[in-house]
Amino acid sequence: MASRLFAFARRLDKGLFPWMGPAQLGAGHAEEPYRPPVDPSCPVCGGPLREHTVARNADQYHATRLLCPPRTA
């Protein structure tokens, strides 16, 4: 079943390609280079990122962690 569906999709793609062309990539106009914000905020706690710690591991099996500073009440 999957091979028949794949074959149908390939035939459809080959038939439509002359009219539709390749995939459209980008915004369609010239874009200015990315400028990072001056003082970004943390997506978790909302505090400034300069007060946070990024914990990276040497192996590929543990995720990188963003450590928020303790809150002062």
pLDDT at residue 71 in the model: 79
Q: What pLDDT is stored for residue 68 in this prediction?
A: 94
pTM of the full structure: 0.47
Contact criterion met (CB below 8 Å) for 39 and 50: yes
Identify the pLDDT of residue 20: 86
- All residues at 6 or more sequence positions from 69 whose CB lies less than 8 Å from its CB, including other chains: 47, 51, 52, 53
Q: What is the pLDDT along the chain (73 residues), one digit of tens a residue?
A: 778 989 998 998 888 888 888 877 777 778 888 898 888 999 999 999 999 999 998 888 889 999 999 877 6
